[in-house]
Amino acid sequence: MAVNICGTGSYIPAHIVDNNDIAKLVDTNDEWIRERTGIVRRHIVDGETTVSMACEAGRRALKDAGISAEEIDLLVVSTISSNIILPCAACEVQKGLGALHATCFDLSAACTGFVLAYNTAAAYLAGGIYRTALIIGSESLSNLINWKDRGTCILFADGAGAAILRADDQKDSPKSYLPVTHSDGERGCALLLKSRHDRNFLSAASSQQDVDYEGEEYFMQMDGKAVFQFAVKKVPEVIREVLEKNQVQQEEISWFLLHQANRRIVESAAKRLGEPIEKFPMNIQEYGNTSSASIPILLDEMNKKGMLKPGQKLILAGFGAGLTWAASLLDWVE
């Protein structure tokens, strides 16, 4: 059975922190951040939570699809930064939306999470187990950042994106494709967060209060170079793999939606694949790296701008902590 995306939505916090704001916290500057990452500003929670953003993104996706919350059979939230541990974020979103009939669970695979949520929901739908799924990537990474570590605080940010998937058993519906997914736990130390706290240190750091950053296990730690090298090699590889697995030619792909981690990673993938950069839409300049929210936010922006046309083939490619990386192919039908 084919599976289609029939609605998208996103929620971006209004509060903006630009590179100059960050330069007041750590030894960095706007020019360095733009040049090395492509990021100009990012949006940071100011009262919102991972769950509240997920609810709003989900609500907007339902509206876009023109369906009611009660039609959802499966609700998956991809997140590493939920404000609540039990119950899972997906159950909280169910409550918020009134998705009474949904089976709900969270998925934790960092920046590859949304692609894995898409694959998971698509497999359930293709198998005839459920008919309609809501998948959401929602992150408030600003809570997990040491705002005195210039290697990470320049990159990560907050937001949520969502998509509605529907099983389609019409005769002329497009075919389903097989995803490609990989994990390498041996290299997990490249991007690490060992424990959790419940405070956001940005406002304290911004008002020059003394912040106790003792206990680095409470913050993201990253070997930026190792992650960069992994991404520039594995992203083009996994895209080639998914094309080959599904016997689709690269020139048939209209859009490559890559996780928005760093402009240079996206540019390198385009170059290695021999594709024009215009086929790799980016919004990292505005939102920074929002982990599992980045691909659905980008998808929603493209959808709302009318960039996606029926019949176009898209590749979604995620990569990040784990290490994990994955690519999925889909036909746009909305």
Binding site for ligand COA (CB under 6 A): 28, 32, 36-37, 111, 150-151, 154, 222, 224-225, 227-228, 261-262, 289, 320
Least distance in angstroms from the C-beta of 155 to ligand COA: 6
β-strand pairing of 180-183 with 41-43: unpaired
Sheet holding 313-320, edge to edge: 180-183, 324-331, 313-320, 253-258
Least distance in angstroms from the C-beta of 284 to ligand COA: 10
Whether 259 sits among the annotated catalytic residues: the reply is: yes
> Rounded CA gap, 112 and 320, in Å?
6
φ and ψ of 70, to 5 deg: -70, -15
> Exactly one of 111, 146, 153, 200 is catalytic; which is it?
111
Least distance in angstroms from the C-beta of 68 to ligand COA: 35
Which residue, 281 or 322, has its beta carbon nearer to ligand COA? 322
Q: 211-238: b or e for each residue (b if 16 or more CB lie within 10 Å)?
A: beeeeeebbbbbebeebbebbbebbbbb
Which residue, 62 or 80, has its beta carbon nearer to ligand COA? 80
> Rounded CA gap, 18 and 311, in Å?
38
Q: With the C-alpha atoms ordered 66, 69, 72, 74, is the resulting torsion angle positive or negative? A: positive
Least distance in angstroms from the C-beta of 94 to ligand COA: 28
Which residue, 222 or 329, has its beta carbon nearer to ligand COA? 222
Least distance in angstroms from the C-beta of 320 to ligand COA: 3
SS3 at position 26: coil
Which residue, 8 or 37, has its beta carbon nearer to ligand COA? 37
Q: With the C-alpha atoms ordered 239, 139, 323, 230, is the resulting torsion angle positive or negative? A: positive
Which residue, 96 or 151, has its beta carbon nearer to ligand COA? 151
Residue nearest to ligand COA (CB): 224
Whether 111 sits among the annotated catalytic residues: the reply is: yes
> Exactly one of 19, 259, 262, 303 is catalytic; which is it?
259
Residue 72 DSSP one-character state: -
Single out the residue of 308, 312, 320 nearest to residue 141, CA to CA: 320
Whether 189 sits among the annotated catalytic residues: the reply is: no
Residue 276: other Cβ atoms inside 10 A: 8
> Exactly one of 83, 119, 289, 303 is catalytic; which is it?
289
Which residues are catalytic, by number? 111, 259, 289
